[in-house]
Amino acid sequence: MTEMRGRAAQGQRTREAILKTAVDVASTEGLEGLTIGRLAAELEMSKSGLFAHFGSKEELQLATIGAAREIFVDEVVRPAFENDAGLPRLWALLDSWLQYAEAGIFKGGCFFAAASAEFDGRPGPVRDLVASTMREWLGALERGVAEAQTAGHVEATADAAQIAFELNSITMGANWAFQLYRDRDVFDRARTAMAARLAAVATPAARRILPDSGAAKGR
């Protein structure tokens, strides 16, 4: 029993190590670049050893997206939830996103922006998983705005879905510019844009939750 459990645990560790490398390969070379052969070479494993963990390229792609989602939740979402619901939590979510993008948690920039661009025109389970994972993120932003409305931090008349669309657009624009031009100033631009967008709908007392720059800069 103990030996079997030991083997299962080792199998799990191997699987995790494979997925860690797979996430890095996919973030720079795309999910299509994630062939069993390419990954076996990178990990110095046999192809058949890899096949024991993932029966097909598609299964490997789906598991890699799941692993990237876990990393994103650990790096961006979970830390934000240590803050009070409302504008503090929403701002923390945006701030951790900016830190995640600037720190280069994924070698090729935001994993999900890249995966979206790669798979948006290719129907199938990979595209569906990318789309549903991104819906979770958009949902988290929209819920963040709605909670800020409930907490009295954001005007009740504000359109939470519209604001979530705009905040997500700013993350897309910042990730795009940083990946293409390696110019770190885009994170200041993005922070300024996010703070100004929220300052425009924040109740007067709640504006102090946002960084100072927000209301003044870029206007």
Binding residues for a copy of itself, rule: CB under 8 A, are: 28-30, 107-109, 113-114, 116-118, 120-121, 127, 130-131, 134, 155, 157-159, 161-163, 165-166, 168-170, 172-174, 176-177, 179-181, 186, 189-190, 192-193, 200-201, 217-219
Nearer to a copy of itself, 45 or 65 (CB): 65
At CA 54, angle to CA 8 and CA 33, rounded to 5?
Answer: 135
In angstroms, the CA 74 to CA 47 distance is 30
Total residues belonging to the chain: 219
Q: Give CA 54 to chain center in angstroms.
A: 24
Rg (CA), the chain: 20
CA 146 vs. chain centroid, Å, equals 20
Q: Is 158 exposed, middle or buried (0-12, 13-18, 19+ CB in 10 A)?
A: middle
Q: How far is the CB of 56 from a copy of itself (least distance, A)?
A: 21
Least distance to a copy of itself from the beta carbon of 172, Å? 4
CA–CA separation, 112 vs 39, rounded Å?
20
As measured in angstroms, the least distance from the Cβ of 136 to a copy of itself is 13
CB of 102 to a copy of itself, least distance (A): 15
What is the nearest approach in angstroms of a copy of itself to the Cβ of residue 166? 5
Q: How far is the CB of 135 from a copy of itself (least distance, A)?
A: 8
| Bridge partners for 154 per DSSP | 202
Q: Which two tokens stand for residue 141?
A: 């932003």
- Are 142 and 164 in contact by the 8 Å Cβ rule? The answer is yes
Phi first, then psi: what are they for 154, rounded to 5°?
-125, 140
Compare residues 84 and 136 and give the one whose CB is closer to a copy of itself: 136
